[in-house]
Amino acid sequence: MKFLNSIAAAAALAAAIASCANAEVKAGETLYGTVLKQVSVSGDLSHKDGRLLPTNAIEVLEVKDGVVKFSITGYQNPKAPNVIYFTPKARIIAVAFSKQAKFQSESLGEEDGFNKVKITAYTDEG
């Protein structure tokens, strides 16, 4: 019986994910990525400045012509400022920018030797 319940739960989860994949993205929503996404520090998505890793929460700020402007809060190691971590306690990467990327970050304080920051970037709606 547990096996059948697990199958039913998996089927329900798959259906929910499929319906979310077709949903319209709106400003003000908090979304969690399920795939690796290319990001840009400008609205020009042809210039790839970094990657947003799956499972990290982003706040949608604006959606225009298939381009999503978002913000994400995380932790920045002063020795590797181009990587934003989910937590200062483990190496769980949220966003990784190329070393040449010139992204803006808002300082939100310090914790365990890491800077807590909020960054804004762009990705595609898909």
pLDDT of 118 reads 98
Q: How many domains are contained in the chain?
A: 1
Residue 5 lies in a domain: no
Residue 2 lies in a domain: no
Provide the pLDDT confidence category of residue 104 given band limits of 50, 70 and 90.
confident
Q: What is the pTM of this model?
A: 0.78
Residue 47 lies in a domain: yes
Q: Which range marks the domain in which residue 44 is found?
A: 26-124
Portion of the chain with pLDDT greater than 90, in percent: 69
Q: Say if residue 23 is exposed, middle or buried (CB neighbours under 10 Å; 0-12, 13-18, 19+).
A: exposed
Residue 89 lies in a domain: yes
Residue 39 lies in a domain: yes
How much is the CA Rg of the chain, to the nearest whole Å?
A: 17
Residue 60 lies in a domain: yes
Q: Residue 19: pLDDT above 50?
A: no
Residue 46 lies in a domain: yes
- Cβ distance 58 to 71 under 8 Å? yes
Residue 90 lies in a domain: yes
Q: Which residues pair with 90 in a beta bridge?
A: 87
Q: Residue 22: pLDDT above 70?
A: no
Instruction: Look up residue 23 and give its amino acid.
Output: A
Q: Residue 23: pLDDT above 80?
A: no
- Cβ distance 120 to 105 under 8 Å? no
